[in-house]
Structure 1
Amino acid sequence: MADNDTVDVLQPPAQPTAKIALEADAAALARLRADRRRAVARSFGRSLGNALITIVVLLALWQAVVSFTGISPYVAKGPLDVFAFLFTDEDAAAHRDQLFPLLGQTLVDSVIGFAVGMVVAIVLAVLFSLSKAVEAGVMPLVLLLRTIPLVSIAPVIILITGRGTTASVAVIGTVVVLFPALANVLFGLSRASRQSLDVVHVFGGSRFMALRKVNIPGALPSVFAAMRVSVPSAVTGALLAEWLSTGAGIGGAILKFNAQAQFAQLWGAIALITLITLVLYNIVQILENVVLARMGMAVSIA
Structure 2
Amino acid sequence: MRQVATMAFVLVVVVLLWIAALRVWDVSPYVGKTPAEVWTSLFGEDDSAELRSEIWTLLGQTLTDAGIGFAAGMLTAILLAVVVVRYRMLEGAVMPVALVLQTVPLIALAPILILMVGRGYAIVAIMSAIVVLFPALVNIVVGLRSVTPQMRDLVLVYGGSPTTVLLRVGFPSALPALFASVRIAVPGSLTGALLAEWLATGKGIGYAVVSAANRSQNARVWALVVVVTLTALLLYLLAQLVETAVLSRFGRTATSA
What is the TM-score normalised by the length of structure 2?
Answer: 0.97
Residue 230 (1) aligns with residue 189 (2): no
Q: 2:64 aligns with which of 108, 114, 133?
A: 108
Quick check: 1:257–1:263 contact (8 Å CA) kept in 2? yes
Shift of 1:193: 2.5
Residue 274 (1) aligns with residue 239 (2): no
Find the residue that maps to 1:72 and give its secondary structure.
Answer: coil
C-alpha distance in 2 between matches for 1:301 and 1:100: 32
Aligned partner letter, 1:63: I
CA distance change for structure 1 residues 274 and 71 in 2, over 3 Å: closer, same or farther? same
Find the residue that maps to 1:230 and give its secondary structure.
Answer: helix
Shift of 1:299: 3.5
Shift of 1:300: 4.3
Q: 1:59 aligns with which of 3, 11, 15?
A: 15
2:135 is matched with 180
1:40 is matched with none
Report how many residues are paired. Answer: 257
2:157 is matched with 202
Q: What are the equivalent positions in structure 2 for 1:110-259 lying under 5 Å apart? A: 110-163=66-119, 165-259=120-214
Per-residue Cα deviation, 1:12-56 (whole angstroms, up to 9, x for no partner): xxxxxxxxxxxxxxxxxxxxxxxxxxxxxxxxx011011101100
Shift of 1:194: 2.2
C-alpha distance in 2 between matches for 1:198 and 1:298: 25
Quick check: 1:114–1:173 contact (8 Å CA) kept in 2? yes
Shift of 1:273: 0.4
Mean CA deviation greater in 126-135 or 220-229: 126-135
Quick check: 2:144–2:174 contact (8 Å CA) kept in 1? yes
Quick check: 2:180–2:255 contact (8 Å CA) kept in 1? no
C-alpha distance in 1 between matches for 2:134 and 2:96: 11
Quick check: 1:86–1:95 contact (8 Å CA) kept in 2? yes
1:35 is matched with none
Aligned partner letter, 2:146: R
Unaligned runs of 5+ in 2: none
Shift of 1:98: 2.1
C-alpha distance in 1 between matches for 2:224 and 2:252: 39
Aligned partner letter, 1:54: V
Aligned partner letter, 1:60: L
Quick check: 1:112–1:169 contact (8 Å CA) kept in 2? yes
Q: What are the equivalent positions in structure 2 for 1:77-116 lying under 5 Å apart? A: 77-116=33-72
Structure label with greater radius of gyration:
1
1:47 is matched with 3
What is the TM-score normalised by the length of structure 1?
Answer: 0.83
Aligned partner letter, 1:260: R
Aligned partner letter, 1:155: P
Q: 1:262 aligns with which of 190, 213, 217?
A: 217
Q: What are the equivalent positions in structure 2 for 1:4-15 lying under 5 Å apart? A: none
Shift of 1:74: 1.0
C-alpha distance in 2 between matches for 1:92 and 1:154: 35
Unaligned runs of 5+ in 1: 1-44
1:68 is matched with 24
Quick check: 2:62–2:204 contact (8 Å CA) kept in 1? yes
Shift of 1:133: 2.5
Identity of matched residues, %: 44
1:36 is matched with none
Aligned partner letter, 1:267: W
